[in-house]
Chains A and B, each alone.
Chain A
């Protein structure tokens, strides 16, 4: 079992609470989706886990070893085990180096093989991601978006990590290519038993790849649970708004929508009470009576919503079919 416990907060001057009290555990072979819109803190969380940014507080452990506390010498072998795939492959690929060499680089750098042996591994990796071996001599700009992303995945897999963070891995790709990459990621996970943290604003993608999902709003996790469960019976109003905002599948479909008012505020000096309250269609004055804490309410499920917890624990909550929850 591999565990990655993250509890962190990133803050800047005037205390922008970019990430506030995020706890996540991801097991081998599991994908946890981190869903939220811009400003939710999901990407910052990803960067803090890898220590591309230093968290202001909290702990990240990988397989029991502390990531947050480690100094350079200890961090290096850990870095090998955790890799990232980014939204725009052109951001992460070196435009001046043939792709074969870019894939080989982590292998040499981590001392995993001789140069000769590394070439063979590059061939295997290209094969794994569905690219012909002769592409190794090309430069990134000579490849299509989908091919570039496959290269980025191959390079992330080169040091044989156990954990991959996927940050909007398909957002910049065409629809038919997105589908190919989604299938590839699923296949690699099942073949290699990797743990994935999938960061995305795309609920459909998370629905298809993630076993569990954490929904973030303004730096906090507001809902957590098995993906199927959360999508079928969302507890938090923000989750319900996100789910209902997704475009229809067909023109004839009827869809009831949950609307949030206004725009999200920046998470500067946020209150202890519910951060969605100003926009929430289910807001009640009693929502501000106490701090909004993330609490479990069913096996494997937690939510940060005062009203839901009060009504659910009080027995008054009923799930309305279609996942739109109780209307009030």
Chain B
């Protein structure tokens, strides 16, 4: 459905060109939910923005292929790309209140999108807008239509954003940290909603998150990112059963609460700033398995087993 190949993105700064994505490659199979997992600065949001062609200077896509159902998105004219955004690929963002326009009521934001992409009349758009709000589980769609974002709770805003994203019947949904700012019971509701809609509409979903729990809940496949690269790819089941990359294993061990009352294990050091990315394998300064060659050569992809790949020189010594 969506193929990303060799995506390279860099920032033009006063100090020169700073690479941010180093040849990101992955595919989304139709109707699946794929997680893009990593901590801040790993490049997962940048990847989504690059796919949507929402990057602005100083960020720039230098190289790579992005294809939606075989169609090349990189060199479309802006007018055509504007139609892809919404009808082909839709995106929902992390801070729901910050992503909705605060000076317009929900109705006008929905109607605007529906009229623009689906060419509905004002009346038909209003009706469809209300129907969408009901579809995303809002109890009083008429009241929500009249409300401004600040009058709605975080969970309700997130549902509105999902409604906006679905308004144009996209094939693909990019969800960037859709549950992070929400209370845990509301998070669960949103997860259930997304899963239900995904099944019902056959959506292909790219879920961007730092939360492994969310991955366990929702994802069929997972790619783990670090310093602008995918360092491990597997089915969700395989990733949790047998994480191969030391960074993935570190993330698993850092989860709070999964070891009963045992304290979580941190990963020493911290994520490097973009301009200070270590040479060779970017994880090597923090890696318990680091050995000769790690500081010199960025590992290529190796198979752990069918459908499970890792980029690490010494992954075998860490895995049972």
Interface residue ranges, A against B (CB under 8 Å): 37-38, 144-147, 170, 174-180, 182-183, 186, 201-205, 207-208, 228, 241-242, 245-253, 257, 259-260, 262-263
Other A-B pairs, 13, CB within 8 Å; known A37-B183, A180-B266, A247-B187: A37-B185, A176-B250, A176-B270, A178-B266, A179-B253, A179-B255, A183-B264, A208-B263, A242-B185, A249-B216, A250-B241, A251-B236, A251-B237
By a CB distance below 8 angstroms, the chain A residues around B264 are: 178-179, 182-183, 208
Query: Would you give the shortest CB distance from B197 to chain A, in whole angstroms?
Result: 18
The smallest beta-carbon distance between A26 and chain B, in angstroms, is 19
Q: Are A253 and B216 in contact (CB under 8 A)?
A: yes
B256 touches A182 (CB 8 A): yes
**Complex: A110 Cα to B242 Cα, angstroms:** 53
CA distance A10 to B120 in the complex (A): 50
Q: Which residues of B contact A205 (CB under 8 A)?
A: 256-257
Contact B216 A247 (CB under 8 A): yes
**Residues of A close to B295: CB separation below 8 A:** none
Alpha-carbon separation in the docked complex, A203 to B241 (Å): 24
**Chain A residue with the shortest CB-CB distance to B219:** A251
Contacts of B216 in A (CB 8 A): 247-251, 253
Chain A residues with CB under 8 Å of B237's CB are: 251-252
Across the interface, do A247 and B154 meet the contact criterion of CB distance under 8 Å?
A: no
Q: Residue of B at shortest CB range from A249? A: B258
Question: Is B267 interfacial (CB-CB < 8 Å)?
Answer: yes
CA of A183 to CA of B262 in the docked complex: distance in angstroms?
10
The verdict on B48 contacting chain A, using a C-beta distance below 8 Å, is no
Closest Cβ of chain A: how far from B123's Cβ, in Å?
Answer: 30
Q: Is the CB of B155 within 8 A of A204?
A: no
Q: B210 at the A/B interface (Cβ < 8 Å)?
A: yes
A179 — which chain B residues lie within 8 A by C-beta? 253-256, 263-267
Query: Once the chains are docked, how many angstroms separate the CA of A174 from the CA of B37?
Result: 12
Report the bound CA distance from A144 to B273 in whole Å. Answer: 9
Q: Which residues of A contact B214 (CB under 8 A)?
A: 247
A246 to B270 Cα, complex, angstroms:
27
Which of these, B188, B212, B253, B254, contacts A257 with CB under 8 Å? B188
Q: Which residues of B contact A242 (CB under 8 A)?
A: 184-185
Of A147, A183, A253, which contacts B266 at CB under 8 A? Answer: A183
**Structural contact, B254 and A175, CB atoms closer than 8 A:** yes
Quick check: is B161 within 8 A (CB to CB) of the other chain?
Answer: no
**Closest A residue, CB atoms, query B189:** A259
A113 to B166, CA, bound (A): 62
Q: Is the CB of B184 within 8 A of A176?
A: no
CB interface residues, B 252-282, toward A, < 8 Å: 253-258, 261-267, 270-271
CB distance from B195 to the nearest CB of A (A): 12
**Cβ–Cβ contact B154 & A176, under 8 A:** no
Tell yes or no: B213 within 8 A of A by CB.
Answer: yes
> How distant is the Cα of A117 from the Cα of B216 in the complex, in angstroms?
51
Interface flag for B298 (CB, 8 Å): no
CA distance in complex: A144, B269 (Å): 11
B13 at interface by CB-CB < 8 Å: no
- Judged by a CB distance under 8 angstroms, whether B142 is at the interface is no
B256 contacts across to A, CB distance below 8 A = 170, 178-179, 182, 202, 204-205, 207-208
A267 to B39, CA, bound (A): 36
Residues of A within 8 A of B121 (CB): none
- In Å, the complex CA distance between A180 and B214 comes to 21
- The docked-state distance in angstroms from the alpha carbon of A246 to that of B256 is 12
Complex interface: chain B residues within 8 A of A202 (CB): 184, 256
B315: chain A residues at CB < 8 Å are none
Chain A residues with CB under 8 A of B101: none
Contact sample, A vs B, 13 pairs, CB 8 Å cutoff: A174-B39, A175-B210, A175-B212, A176-B266, A178-B256, A179-B256, A179-B264, A208-B257, A208-B261, A242-B185, A248-B216, A249-B258, A263-B153
Answer whether residue B240 sits at the interface, using C-beta atoms and an 8 A cutoff: yes
Q: Which of B211-240 contact A (CB under 8 A)?
A: 211-217, 219, 236-237, 240
Give the one of A146, A247, A248 with max B CB within 10 A: A247
**Nearest CB in chain A: distance from B91 CB, A:** 22
> Which B residues are CB-close (under 8 A) to A204?
255-258
| A-chain residues with CB within 8 Å of residue B254 when the two chains form the complex | 175-176, 178-179
A62 to B50, CA, bound (A): 55
Given A37-B184, A245-B184, A245-B187; A251-B240 close (CB under 8 Å): yes
Contact A183 B139 (CB under 8 A): no
- Tell me the smallest distance from the CB of B223 to a CB of chain A, in Å: 15
Report Cα–Cα, A247/B266, bound state, in Å.
20
A263 to B271: give the CA distance in the assembly, Å.
38
What sequence of 0s and 1s flags, for each residue 80-115 of chain B, a beta carbon within 8 Å of any chain A beta carbon?
A: 000000000000000000000000000000000000
Q: Are B155 and A263 closer than 8 Å at their CB atoms?
A: yes
> Is there a chain A Cβ closer than 8 Å to B40's Cβ?
yes
Bound together, the chains give a CA A242 to CA B240 distance in angstroms of: 24
Task: Report the separation of the CA atoms of residues A302 and B210 in the bound assembly, to the nearest whole angstrom.
Answer: 36
B185 touches A245 (CB 8 A): yes
With A245-B188, A248-B213: A176-B251 Cβ-Cβ less than 8 Å: yes
Looking at the assembled complex, report how far the CB atom of B185 sits from the nearest CB atom of chain A, in whole angstroms: 5
Which residue of the partner chain A has the closest CB to B42? A174
Whether the Cβ atoms of B183 and A201 lie closer than 8 Å is yes
Instruction: Point out which of A180, A203, A259 has the most chain B C-beta atoms below 10 A from its C-beta.
Output: A180
List the A residue with the shortest CB-CB distance to B256. A204
CB nearest to A252 among chain B residues = B237
Is the beta-carbon distance between A177 and B154 smaller than 8 angstroms? no
CB distance from A199 to the nearest CB of B (A): 14
User: Are B213 and A203 touching (Cβ within 8 A)?
Assistant: no
Q: What is the chain B residue whose CB lies nearest that of A184? A: B266
Q: Give chain B nearest CB distance to A120 CB in angstroms.
A: 27
Complex Cα gap A170–B257 (Å): 14
**Chain B proximity of A88: nearest CB distance (Å):** 13
- Residues of A close to B219: CB separation below 8 A: 251
Residues of the B chain whose Cβ atoms lie less than 8 Å from the Cβ of A145: 40
Which residues of chain A have C-beta atoms less than 8 A from B155's C-beta?
263
